[in-house]
Amino acid sequence: MAEVHIIGQINQAKDFPKQHLFCKWHLQIGNNWRVISGKREGQTQVSYSQFGGTTTWSFPIDIHLATAGLQGWPKIYIEVYHLDWLGRSHLFGYGLVTVPTSPGSHTLDCYTWRPFGSLRERFVQYFLGGGLQLKYPDLIFSSGERYKLSTEAMGVVSFDLSVLLRNFTNYGIEYN
């Protein structure tokens, strides 16, 4: 089987409206893929920066995968949350980034967004806190349905990933 090894980190978040952020992540893979070692999901620590709008996590990712085909190439799905002064977590954004298909070191920016509610929902959110969440999070993976959502842009999460490919040429797959 061909193998993909993803090593790197969820580096930082920037341009979010508030601090005290943490990130939940999940590796989305197709049916032809299996995890040899490593975790498919995780959560960063809560981070706060006193100097500017950048939150640094430097959270490690190390996943070794095997595949019988290219369909379902790995994607990293993220949810960014804000922790308020009462200890409540509020969704600040969803994001999806595709793992690069070429070997080597890569810096990726994942642009996040969140649902934009009605005037009433935004009014409740302003006074009571919280954030709108998707009822069916699978919509994020369906680009045909996602465009129907009313959303607002949030911040950017950056990744530093190194991708190692093994045995792809044995299956007639060439890469540069």
pLDDT 10s digits, 25-68: 999 999 999 999 999 999 999 998 777 778 999 999 999 999 98
φ, ψ at 170 (rounded to 5°) = -65, -20
Strand 54-67 with 75-83, pairing: unpaired
Tens-digit pLDDT profile for residues 77-98: 999 999 888 888 888 899 999 9
Q: Hey, where are the domains in the chain? A: 2-112+153-170
Is residue 73 within 8 Å of residue 97, measured between CB atoms? no
pTM exceeds 0.75: yes
Question: How many Cα neighbours within 13 Å face the side chain of 97?
Answer: 19
How would you class 66 by CB atoms within 10 Å of its CB: exposed for 0-12, middle for 13-18, buried for 19 or more?
Answer: middle
Q: What is the distance between the alpha carbons of residues 80 and 78, in angstroms, rounded to a whole number?
A: 6
Is the separation of the CB atoms in 88 and 150 below 8 Å?
A: no
- Estimate to the nearest angstrom the gap between the alpha carbon of 151 and the chain centroid: 17
Q: Does domain 2-112+153-170 have CATH number 2.160.10.10?
A: no
* Average pLDDT rounded to a whole number, residues 9-19: 92
Q: What is the dihedral of CA 100, 103, 104, 105, to 10 degrees?
A: 20
The per-residue pLDDT for range 143-164, each reduced to its tens digit, is 666 666 778 889 999 999 999 9
